Amino acid sequence: MDRIRLRILLVDDHEGFINAAMRHLRNVEWIEVVGRAGNGLEAIEQSEALRPDAILMDLAMPEMGGLQATRLIKAQDEPPFVAIASHFDDAEHREHAMRAGADAFVSKLNYMQDVMPLLERLAGGEMA
């Protein structure tokens, strides 16, 4: 099955976390990381400017967190797929993420194991 090339925006206030994700995603030929942002305000600007296919969004960040940013990004025309990531992997945080309009919730503890199947489905065109 042919995969489409996925354009991804990484959003996290921890440089080390973004760098680790970049190292992993750089090795996947059908993924292109088109931008990075350190908080929700930057994420909204980058989403409007870059029009990524998917945003991997941290839950807790300074200035504006992932939930509020997700709400605003999902109000854009043709919004991207948004996966919220958090160290707090429990039903309450998952419910808040879904209520904000996130398409998925992933644990930062199993980040790549959780994120890659989502991106593969997205690239395969199964999730429209």
Q: Mutual orientation of helices 111-123 and 15-25 as an angle, nearest 10°?
A: 50
Cα–Cα separations (whole angstroms), residue 39 to 44, 57, 123: 9, 9, 26
Distance CA 26, CA 110 (A): 18
Averaged pLDDT for residues 25-37: 95
Q: Is the pLDDT of residue 69 over 70?
A: yes
pLDDT at 128 over 50: no
pTM of the entire structure?
Answer: 0.92
